[in-house]
Chains A and B, each alone.
Chain A
Amino acid sequence: MTKYIMRRLLQAIPLLLVISLILFWLLQQVSDPLATMGGRVPPRPEDRQRLARQLGLDQPIHMQYIYWLIGNDWTLVDRDGDGTPETPGERRGVLRGDFGESIMVRGKPALDVIMEKLPNTLLLMFTAEIVIIILSLAIGVYSALNQYSLLDNVFTAFSFITFSMPIFWLALMLLYIFSVNLRNMGSPIYFPSIGMYDVVAGPTLQQVAWHMVLPVMTIALISIAGYSRYIRSVMLEVLSSDYIRTARAKGISQNRVLYVHALKNASLPLVTLIGLDLPLLLGGAVVTERIFGWPGMGSTYITHLDRSDFPVLMAILMMISAAVVVFQLLTDIVYTWLDPRIRYS
């Protein structure tokens, strides 16, 4: 097992390098970050040269990548533009935890920009994930036990619809129903449409929870469609297996058979699903965050994409990709632990 983990970790390194190369090359093609630096006035050519030099953008792409990866404090850089490098570099490179400085927020480390927003995204994500797990387990199990019942058919139809829905359209519908219409009908209870908390009331627990309802609902509804169908089919498969019949034959109560014997095994594949989905939610919430004005990683990504702030974009993309790779490994490990029949060699 240790050998397997080691091998997977070693495989992850070239994978992340390939990802970073693809992304770095792509980000170099994004429009010029210097173009907007002079505000409304386009910067003069000599200013452009100076800025490019200061930001290290005058270097050829492979040097920029090397500086990004391992930093440039081991060499001299040309700051004054006379052609001879004289100043020792200050960047330490991604491998030593330095993602460079943001271009949009001058001088602020890219990592700080992200770390300010990461907790908000994590909060949204984990709440949504908990709602997803609870509801899809409930729906999936109910549907499996009452196959082809009215409610099962309703859930089926419902999941087909949400499965085909762009998440922003669902968000708009929910906003229209629960934010606009409830208020227009004079209901004292309606959900706020934007932001994380009321500016006047401040970021209290109650405010944040209240503002979180609609975004969480949006993310959850889309995912529950797939999850609950999946649990339903696994549960049906498990219920028809021999060991369940044996358990019943032994006289174990129906509830115990269902919720201990069957559900335990039926929820195993859920681990894979969650493990693969969770890191993707980090970036996938970009639409939801944008619509609901949630100050998380997703909306940060969009704002910084508009300004071609590639140190920050690169940091966001690399962090999520690394999370995906790590979570894949974790999922496989947890799975062997939950299901001892699986052996990796």
Chain B
Amino acid sequence: MAAKAEPISLRPQSGARVKPDSLWRMALRRYRRHRMAMLGFFMLIGIMLYVVVGSFIFTENYANFNDTTQRLRPPSAAHPFGTDSIGRDVLARTIYGGQISLIIGVLAMLVSITMGTLIGALAGYFGGLLDAVLMRITEAIVSIPLILILLLMAKVLGGRLADIELFGRTFSGSVIVIVTIVGITSWTTLARIVRASFLSLKEMEFVTAARALGVPNWRIIAGHILPNTIAPIMVAATLGVAGAILQEAYISFFGLGVQAPTASWGNMLNGANQYLQSAPWLWFYPGLLLVFTVMSINFVGDGLRDALDPRGDKKL
């Protein structure tokens, strides 16, 4: 039975306050119209389900269990993604490896967003010598190729942290190392964006007004200016997760990242080129999941950028 259509009225209901759509509602609406962004969103949900539901099917012990009689078995019913060079199930390892990769992505993003926002805000708001020093450091980091500095720092910090017990699971201390080094090298772009918007926003009347009222500096920064720069920070945060996952993969590919038995998509690919021909399933599945995840996060990030910036003319 079809519901009777409401008569369309342009007049607001009497007594009801007309509330204009908030920025977030408008952004949400624009986001939902963005096809790629929605596709990315659902792909990401799929990945989340894969790593969460999967961990209820296979235990972590099973993922780390090695049976040397079952080395390098091609995909079969018992091991849909095959087994690795010491007889561990690749499917189960992609599930737990995915969790680690996603956790690293999110944590490293939090570190880099915090640093980028803080450094950009301080440099932009206070200017002068502080700005000059912070920006020279930013430029210095930008001028060194990321992969070289990541490998170097991984070598410096690698193996210095003990394993961590959390929620009854053991995480390799190298996870924290990776989060740290990815976090402290990837804040530069955001710092520059935040600094630029602070530079223009701090000259605006509402900041002058706040100053005249005697609002302390930190509250002007955090309460008055920062909310106006939230859009680029959110976009950078989303894309930052994708970047961090990729960087973890690079470091772990060279064997300097997450250490076994903890799996990550990156360290599952470590040494894979030795099995290029004999066991392609070793590197194919973790890599495919990695690409799928990074791509979906990139879609979401692009969608957010378009949704949060209505003036942006970036159309695909």
A-to-B contact residues, CB < 8 Å? 14-15, 18-19, 22-23, 26-27, 29-31, 156, 160-161, 163-166, 168-169, 172-173, 175-176, 180, 193, 233, 280, 282-284, 286-287, 290-291, 301-302, 305, 308, 313, 316-317, 320-321, 324-325
**What is the minimal beta-carbon distance from B34 to any residue of chain A, in angstroms?**
14
A169 touches B277 (CB 8 A): no
**What is the minimal beta-carbon distance from A171 to any residue of chain B, in angstroms?**
8
B144 touches A180 (CB 8 A): no
A164 touches B294 (CB 8 A): yes
A166 touches B246 (CB 8 A): yes
B31 lies within 8 A of chain A by Cβ: no
B298 touches A163 (CB 8 A): yes
| A31 proximity list for chain B (CB < 8 A) | 155
Segment from B212-220, B222-230, B283-291 that makes contact with A:
B283-291
Query: How many chain B residues touch the partner (CB < 8 A)?
Result: 39
B152 lies within 8 A of chain A by Cβ: yes
| A29 proximity list for chain B (CB < 8 A) | 156
A161 touches B272 (CB 8 A): no
B206 lies within 8 A of chain A by Cβ: no
Segment from B44-52, B112-120, B249-257 that makes contact with A:
B249-257
A321 touches B287 (CB 8 A): no
Compute how far the CA of A166 lies from the CA of B147 in the bound complex, rounded to whole angstroms.
Answer: 12
A164 touches B143 (CB 8 A): no
* B142 nearest CB neighbor, chain A only: A324
A169 and B290 in contact, given A14-B136, A282-B145 (Cβ under 8 angstroms):
yes
A284 touches B277 (CB 8 A): no
**What is the minimal beta-carbon distance from A14 to any residue of chain B, in angstroms?**
7
| B280 proximity list for chain A (CB < 8 A) | 176
B151 touches A280 (CB 8 A): no
B16 lies within 8 A of chain A by Cβ: no
* B152 nearest CB neighbor, chain A only: A26
Set A26, A168, A175: member contacting B250, Cβ < 8 A:
A168
Q: List 19 A-B contacts (CB under 8 A).
A: A22-B141, A23-B144, A26-B149, A31-B155, A160-B298, A165-B294, A166-B249, A166-B253, A166-B269, A169-B287, A176-B276, A193-B276, A280-B145, A283-B145, A284-B145, A320-B144, A320-B148, A324-B143, A324-B144
Set B145, B152, B291: member contacting A161, Cβ < 8 A:
B291
Compute how far the CA of A231 lies from the CA of B300 in the bound complex, rounded to whole angstroms.
Answer: 23
* A184 nearest CB neighbor, chain B only: B277
Chain B, 98-128, CB within 8 A of any chain A CB: none
| B139 proximity list for chain A (CB < 8 A) | 15
B250 touches A166 (CB 8 A): yes
Scoring B143, B156, B314 by chain A CB atoms within 10 A of each residue's CB, the highest score goes to B143
| A316 proximity list for chain B (CB < 8 A) | 148
A19 touches B145 (CB 8 A): no
| B144 proximity list for chain A (CB < 8 A) | 19, 22-23, 317, 320-321, 324
B148 touches A19 (CB 8 A): no
**What is the minimal beta-carbon distance from A177 to any residue of chain B, in angstroms?**
10
B177 lies within 8 A of chain A by Cβ: no
| B250 proximity list for chain A (CB < 8 A) | 166, 168, 287
**What is the minimal beta-carbon distance from A25 to any residue of chain B, in angstroms?**
10
* B132 nearest CB neighbor, chain A only: A14
B287 touches A286 (CB 8 A): no
Set B140, B151, B152, B156: member contacting A15, Cβ < 8 A:
B140
| B254 proximity list for chain A (CB < 8 A) | 290, 302
**What is the minimal beta-carbon distance from A31 to any residue of chain B, in angstroms?**
7
| A19 proximity list for chain B (CB < 8 A) | 140, 143-144
* B295 nearest CB neighbor, chain A only: A164
Compute how far the CA of A324 lies from the CA of B148 in the bound complex, rounded to whole angstroms.
Answer: 14
B190-204 vs A, CB cutoff 8 Å, 1 = contact: the mask equals: 000000000000000
Q: What would 8 more interface pairs be, CB under 8 Å, given A19-B144, A233-B314, A320-B148? A: A15-B140, A18-B137, A26-B149, A31-B155, A160-B299, A164-B294, A164-B295, A305-B151
| B242 proximity list for chain A (CB < 8 A) | 164
B273 lies within 8 A of chain A by Cβ: yes
A166 touches B143 (CB 8 A): no
A27 and B291 in contact, given A166-B249, A166-B250 (Cβ under 8 angstroms):
no
B221 lies within 8 A of chain A by Cβ: no
A169 touches B276 (CB 8 A): no
* B141 nearest CB neighbor, chain A only: A22
B166 lies within 8 A of chain A by Cβ: no
B3 lies within 8 A of chain A by Cβ: no
| A30 proximity list for chain B (CB < 8 A) | 152, 155-156
Scoring B141, B287, B299, B314 by chain A CB atoms within 10 A of each residue's CB, the highest score goes to B287
B273 touches A172 (CB 8 A): yes
B231 lies within 8 A of chain A by Cβ: no
B295 touches A26 (CB 8 A): no
| A313 proximity list for chain B (CB < 8 A) | 152
| B1 proximity list for chain A (CB < 8 A) | none
Compute how far the CA of A124 lies from the CA of B272 in the bound complex, rounded to whole angstroms.
Answer: 24
B129 lies within 8 A of chain A by Cβ: no
**What is the minimal beta-carbon distance from A122 to any residue of chain B, in angstroms?**
15
**What is the minimal beta-carbon distance from A114 to any residue of chain B, in angstroms?**
13
Scoring A166, A290, A301, A321 by chain B CB atoms within 10 A of each residue's CB, the highest score goes to A166
A169 and B291 in contact, given A164-B298, A287-B253 (Cβ under 8 angstroms):
yes
Set B147, B152, B269, B283: member contacting A27, Cβ < 8 A:
B152
* A290 nearest CB neighbor, chain B only: B254
A18 touches B156 (CB 8 A): no
B171-187 vs A, CB cutoff 8 Å, 1 = contact: the mask equals: 00000000000000000
A301 and B291 in contact, given A166-B249, A169-B269, A172-B276 (Cβ under 8 angstroms):
no
B38 lies within 8 A of chain A by Cβ: no
A320 touches B145 (CB 8 A): yes
| A161 proximity list for chain B (CB < 8 A) | 291, 295
